[in-house]
Amino acid sequence: MNSVLIVDDNAENRYYLETLLSASGWKVESARNGQEALKLALSMPPDALVSDLLMPVMDGYTLLRRMRAEKRLCDVPFLVYTATYTSREDERLALDLGADAFLIKPAEPDVIVNCLGEICARRSSGRAAEPVREGEPDLLELYNRTLIRKLEGKMEQLDAANRHLEEDLAARKAIEASLRESDERFRLLTRATREAIWDWDVARDTLWWNEGMQRLFGHADEVVADGRAWWIERIHPDDCERVSHGREEAVVTGAEHWSAQYRFRRRDGSYANVEDRGHVLRDDAGTAVRMVGAMWDATERLALEAQLRQAQRLEAIGQLTGGVAHDFNNLLTVIMGNAELLAETHPPGTSEHEFLMMISASAQRGADLTRRLLTFARKQALEARVVDVNQQIGQIDALLRHTLGSDIRMDFQLAADLWPALVDPAQLENALLNLCLNARDAMPQGGWLTVETSKASVDEASADPERALAAGDYVQLAVSDTGTGIPPEHLARVFEPFFTTKDEGKGSGLGLAMVYGFIRQSGGHINIYSELGRGTTVKLYLPRGSDAAAVETAAPVMALPRGAEHILLVEDDDLVRDYTSYVLQQLGYTIHPAVDGKAALEMLAGEVPIDLLFTDIVMPGMNGFAVAEEAVKLRPGLKVLYTSGYTRQAAARQEPDMALSQMLSKPYARGDLARRIREVLDSR
């Protein structure tokens, strides 16, 4: 009689294998872990060994490695039988270490016995071992096949017992033993799975489930008499009708299978997103008698899928924003520049001058909006500077009062000794405007809106790494309203992109998401407090700037630098090309315009004197980088200045060797254009 050593830390699994292999003619010994097994094997080498993988003291991998290193044990057939299977890597590692076979729990009894006999025969014959692999079977299909096979066998035995009355007693005892074996096997199978297995007796309306129901959802093992009602009571009200109707329809229409996704209430009252499937068992008349199924918690997987979809949506926004920014900035360049030129023809104080300045300011706000969208899409880095937050609030005071309307009364509580903050001033202005607009929408009948600034120091004890609130000094900006408040179930989602409680057409759901992104990119933190009927307070923690650094102030008006050099201007947009040519000609330069790269290179190949190539980057046919590369071949030492409606960072990714200082971003004001042209011409 051949001997086999079973290694498993689970007593029920050992009992199951001992019973199975003893009945198949094996002499069985068992151990609880690899250390015990190695000691037994060294004292009396077995003819074969069946081992689990994850065990205390010494796991199956270590046991396999130690046995293959021992001269007395290196040829002992080794069968891995495990429920631990995350990927093919587990199987590959075991086989590489010298295992003869790899089976997944639960495997059918004849598979285990046949596999063990086969690997022993191969070892004894000296043939090269070909690893035996067995994929993980579907639990419900395995149970159904086993049940049907046993029932067919039992019917044959009963027919034989009727024909041979004298053998009736022995046949009945064999049937009872087989049934007990089937029940025990099913019990072991339901324990081995990670799912919640359930069995619904349709006729008696009783519902049974295994330990997985308690492990996953907290409901203790029991058999409930009113199974249909118990199950329906624990389905989320919004899903109840759909799911219960689907299951009942599967029962009465003759379907073999049923499946659904829904929210199932745990014992603690919370809901899990579950996936549930069942197999309908019917009698000879086609009437459903039982439904056996499995349910598992898919909450985490569905959350990850939702995050992936959100990331894809944001990526789409980023792509769209990048394309729009280029064309939009070309238009703003012309609007800002012409408004600035016309404003100089009307003295300050006249209505014409004021109107033109309003046009220029509006165009600048459009440029700021484009930059904010690019920042939100992470296509432009923040331009953090040391700013006076109180001064920033004062600059948009009039805009806020005009935008919010007369129903909203404003109260500014600004700390006199406030620290400077290190933030992007345009993004800070946009964040404050978004918060005030949200507060206004929460007060449809009017109310108080309070804007406060103060110092805030967070020590190590108060820091919260999970919420990205690090220890340090912050400038706190708080916006409070006396509005309707935010429901508790919505507080956790207010910073999600596209999440909004406003009516359709009254909000995109991007406002607070942009504020959140700006604060986190700036190294700060944001908190929101709200109570229904009592209003909302949003607190921004802005990183403190250096007191020694100069706070940004308006630059004094200076005369624009002029020149007399020859400039080759390459721009495919007619309006931008005409505007830029006019401005540079007014500053004394001689301009040679070209509509594309081909025309520019033809001009450079001639005798026209050129001191500077000023080219757009994005153009049809040949882009600005290619134009510049060919230009310096024709005119070695030629100076180059790029321009684009895209950001500097985006342009640098297209051409990593290009220095950011070689680019002037659109839209540009006349003063910026004049200074950058002069800087490049005067550089070495």
Q: What is the mean pLDDT of residues 207-221?
A: 80
The reply to whether 422 falls in a domain is yes
What confidence score (pLDDT) does residue 677 get?
92
Query: Which of 263, 284, 301 is where one domain is finished?
Result: 301
Quick one: pLDDT at residue 570? 95
Which pLDDT does position 382 carry in this prediction?
65
**pLDDT for the residue 136:** 38
| Tokens (6 digits) for 360 | 């220029």
Q: What is the pLDDT of residue 375?
A: 57
394: left (phi over 0), alpha (psi -120 to 50) or beta: alpha
Looking at residue 180, its pLDDT comes to 62
pLDDT of residue 669: 78
The 3-state DSSP composition of the chain as helix, strand, coil percent (nearest 5) reads 45, 20, 30
User: Which band of pLDDT confidence, cut at 50, 70 and 90, is reported for residue 662?
Assistant: confident
Question: Are 539 and 571 in a shared domain?
Answer: no
Strand bridging mode 408-414 / 421-423: unpaired
Are both 473 and 614 inside the same structural domain?
no
Domain C-terminal end among 254, 273, 301:
301
**Does pLDDT of 107 surpass 90?**
no
Do 536 and 573 belong together in one domain? no
Please state the three-class secondary structure of 1-12 as a single string: CCEEEEECCCHH
In tens, the pLDDT along 425-484 reads: 878 888 888 888 888 988 988 999 999 999 988 876 665 554 556 778 899 999 999 998
* CATH code of residue 122: 3.40.50.2300
pLDDT of residue 202: 86
| Contact criterion met (CB below 8 Å) for 210 and 191 | yes
Give the CA distances from residue 590 to residues 282, 536, 580, 596, in Å, rounded to whole numbers and listed in that order. 93, 59, 12, 19
Say if 175 falls within a structural domain: yes
Which of the four pLDDT bands, split at 50, 70 and 90, describes residue 501?
low
Sequence-ordered list of residues with C-beta below 8 angstroms from that of 200, at least 6 positions apart, any chain: 206, 207, 208, 227, 228, 231, 278, 290, 291, 292, 293
Span of 169-183, 385-399, 517-531 with lowest mean pLDDT: 169-183
**Poorest-pLDDT segment among 63-67, 500-504, 582-586:** 500-504
User: What number is the average pLDDT over the span 228-250?
Assistant: 89
Q: Residue 455: what residue type?
A: K
According to the model, what pLDDT value does residue 527 have?
85
Would the pLDDT of 656 be above 70? no
In a domain, 380, yes or no: no
Whole-number pLDDT of residue 135: 41
- State how far the Cα of 601 lies from the Cα of 599, in Å rounded to an integer: 6
pLDDT tens for 596-625 read 999 999 999 998 999 999 999 888 889 888
pLDDT, mean of residues 364-373: 66
Alpha-carbon span 557 to 565, nearest angstrom: 24
203 beta partners: none
Q: Residue 528 in contact with residue 538, Cβ under 8 Å?
A: yes
Residue 560 in any domain: the answer is: no
Higher pLDDT among residues 148 and 563, named by residue: 563
Which range marks the domain in which residue 107 is found?
A: 3-137
Cβ distance 372 to 510 under 8 Å?
Answer: no
CATH number at residue 275: 3.30.450.20
Which residues fall within 8 angstroms of residue 48, CB to CB, at 6 or more apart? 2, 3, 4, 5, 26, 76, 77, 78, 79, 116, 119, 120
> Which of the two residues, 507 and 498, has the higher pLDDT score?
498
Same domain, 401 and 499: yes
Chain-centroid distance of CA 95 in Å reads 35
Regarding whether 133 and 262 lie in a shared domain, the answer is no
208 falls in which pLDDT band (50, 70, 90)?
confident
Between CA 290 and CA 286 the distance in angstroms is: 12
Same domain, residue pair 79 and 184 = no
Task: Work out the average pLDDT over 18-37.
Answer: 91
Specify the amino acid at residue 415.
A
Tell me the three state secondary structure of residue 304: helix
User: Does one domain contain both 435 and 529?
Assistant: yes
Task: For residues 55-66, give the mean pLDDT.
Answer: 90
The DSSP 8-state label assigned to residue 467 in this structure reads G
**Would you state the pLDDT for residue 319?**
64
**N-terminal to C-terminal alpha carbon distance within the chain:** 94
Residue with tokens 């339901």: 190
Using omega within 30 degrees of 0 as the cis cutoff, is the peptide bond preceding 488 cis?
no
Mapping DSSP to helix (H, G, I), strand (E, B) and coil, where does residue 411 land?
Answer: strand
Mean pLDDT (whole number) for 20-30: 90
Which residues have C-beta within 8 Å of that of residue 516, sequence separation ≥ 6?
495, 526
CA distance 76 to 94: 15
DSSP code string of 244-302: HHHHHHHHHTT-SEEEEEEEEE-TTS-EEEEEEEEEEEE-TTS-EEEEEEEEEE-HHHH
Confidence of residue 512 (pLDDT cuts 50, 70, 90): confident
Mean pLDDT (whole number) for 383-393: 87
Mean pLDDT of 154-179: 62
Q: Is the pLDDT of residue 394 over 60?
A: yes
Burial 45-60 (b: 16+ CB within 10 A, else e): bbbbbbbbbebeebbb
The whole-angstrom distance between residue 240's C-alpha and the CA centroid of its chain comes to 29
Distance CA 631, CA 597 (A): 10
Where do the H-state alpha helices sit in 492-623? Answer: 511-521, 574-586, 597-605
Final residue in a domain of this structure, among 301, 318, 337: 301
pLDDT value of residue 458: 80
Residues 477 and 508 placed together within one structural domain of the fold: yes
Query: What pLDDT score does 170 carry?
Result: 65
Tokens of 321: 């924003």
pLDDT at 299 over 70: yes
pLDDT digits (tens, 9 = 90+) for 535-576: 899 999 999 987 655 555 544 556 789 999 999 999 998 888
Q: Give the least confident one: 47-56, 571-580, 655-664.
A: 655-664
| Residue with the larger pLDDT of the pair 532 and 152 | 532
The single-letter DSSP state of residue 634 is H
Determine the average pLDDT of the residues in 266-281: 89
Share of residues in the chain with pLDDT > 70 (%): 75
> CB count, 10 Å around CB of 390?
17
How far apart (Å, rounded) are the C-alpha atoms in residues 401 and 411?
11
Regarding whether 41 and 89 lie in a shared domain, the answer is yes
Evaluate whether residue 499 is within a structural domain: yes
Round the average pLDDT of the chain to a whole number and report it. Answer: 79
Please list the alpha-helical segments (H only) found in 293-388. 299-343, 351-376
**Does some domain include residue 573?**
yes
Report the number of distinct structural domains present in the chain: 4
Cα 50 from Cα 141, distance rounded (Å): 25
pLDDT of 252: 87
Question: How far are the Cα atoms of 411, 478, 537 from residue 528, in angstroms, in the given order?
Answer: 19, 10, 6
pLDDT for the residue 146: 38
Claim to verify: residue 535 and residue 410 sit in the same structural domain: yes
Residue 684 pLDDT: 75
What is the rounded average pLDDT of the residues 656-684? 79
Lowest mean pLDDT among 74-83, 141-150, 178-187, 217-226: 141-150
Quote the pLDDT of residue 50: 93
CATH number of the CATH domain containing 527: 3.30.565.10
Same domain, 570 and 677: yes
- Tell me: do 574 and 523 sit in the same domain: no
Per-residue pLDDT at 332 exceeds 80: no
**Angle separating helix axes 299-343 and 351-376, nearest 10 degrees:** 160
Rg (CA), the chain: 39
Domain-embedded: residue 120 = yes
576 located within any domain = yes
